[in-house]
Amino acid sequence: MDVVVVPTAVDVATYAADLVAARIAAEPGMVLGVATGSSPVGIYRELARRRTEGTLELSHLTCFALDEYVGLAPGHPRSYAAYLDREIARPWGLASSRVRVPEASRPDLEVAAAEYEQEIAAAGGIDLQILGIGTNGHIGFNEPISSLSSRTRVAALTAQTRTDNARFFDGPDDVPTRCLTQGLGTILEARQVVLVAQGERKAAAVAAAVEGPVAARCPASVLQFHPRTVLVLDEAAASGLTSGTCLRPVPGRGDGGGPRGSAPAS
């Protein structure tokens, strides 16, 4: 794992957008894995800004979501399909057919899960996966005690996650109890992973993921097995890391208030 620590949440978005944009510029038709939630929004908006200014072409991408709630009507504004339409398809100029989301309103959820895996494989796999992290260490909706080799499946949301996500709904009782999510084994097959986290409320989960044992109680810790993962953290999210965790200046960025951390995988 590479860990990059930058001062603020805005810096996280800019730094991670630089990483993603460089990869897209080199391979405009790549397959991008896109997380939902608040953490990656700054990246998506920064990429959209670059598209608007004419420096980045995004319309050739194919995107795959990590997960979707079960039990929301199609088109529900809090569904991840609606989120990705708002934050990615429209601002990036992408045909909606290029933004794939698990079909969690189907009656045959197990079949939908298997077909989603097949779709990812047919697209050639995920080239770069953007991730956030839950306060309990989840990635996608792989909650604690998920199998470290799990595949796309129906899963239950923990009370903690439903409480965390209540801010997007009218209240905690409106947050669905189940989801369709890519598994940890699915996520590990992405060729490159960029995980972003901001704020102190993520500090414990980040520390467990980076420095804790690889354990199902912190699903993100499985990324320790991934050969090409970079975490981009603001100082608050990094505050639980103990000293000496692969922190060194980033070449070319200086050390006078600029980002510090290990150089990310390019």
For 124, list phi and psi in degrees, rounded to 5. Answer: 100, 5
**Complex with ligand GLP: residue 102 or 132, whichever CB lies closer:** 132
Q: Sign of the CA dihedral 260, 261, 263, 266?
A: negative
Tell me if 219 contacts ligand GLP by CB under 6 A.
no
Catalytically annotated residue among 68, 117, 138, 165: 138
The verdict on 67 binding ligand GLP (CB under 6 A) reads yes
Dmax (CA) for the chain in angstroms is 56
Q: Is 29 exposed, middle or buried (0-12, 13-18, 19+ CB in 10 A)?
A: exposed
Strands of the sheet with 178-181, listed across from one edge: 67-70, 178-181, 153-156
Amino acid at 239: S
Task: Examine residue 38 and tell whether it contacts ligand GLP (CB under 6 A).
Answer: yes
The interface region with ligand GLP, picked from 91-99, 114-122, 128-136, 147-155 by CB under 6 A, is 128-136
As beta bridge partners, residue 197 has: 233
Catalytic residue (choose from 11, 46, 136, 142): 136
From the list 200, 225, 186, the residue with the least C-alpha distance to 65 is: 186
* Nearest distance from C-beta of residue 168 to ligand GLP, angstroms: 8
State yes or no: is 143 an active-site residue. Answer: yes
> How many residues lie near ligand GLP (CB under 6 A)?
14
**Nearest approach, Cβ of residue 130 and ligand GLP (Å):** 9
132 vs 93: CA distance, rounded Å: 23
Please confirm, yes or no, whether 87 is among the known catalytic residues: no
Binding to ligand GLP in span 143-162, by CB under 6 A:
161
Candidate list 17, 35, 190, 230; residue touching ligand GLP; CB under 6 A? 35
CA torsion, ordered 25, 19, 99, 121, to nearest 10 deg? 90
**Pick 39 or 229: Cβ nearer ligand GLP:** 39
CB of 67 to ligand GLP, least distance (A): 5
Which residue, 135, 111, 124, 106, is CA-closest to 32? 124
Per-residue tokens: 14: 């800019």
Q: Is residue 184 within the footprint of ligand GLP (CB under 6 A)?
A: no
Instruction: State the nearest-atom distance from the C-beta of 165 to ligand GLP, in Å.
Output: 5
Among 33, 102, 134, 264, binds ligand GLP (CB under 6 A): 134
Site for ligand GLP, rule CB under 6 A: 35-39, 66-67, 132-134, 140-141, 161, 165
Which of the residues are catalytic?
A: 67, 136, 138, 143
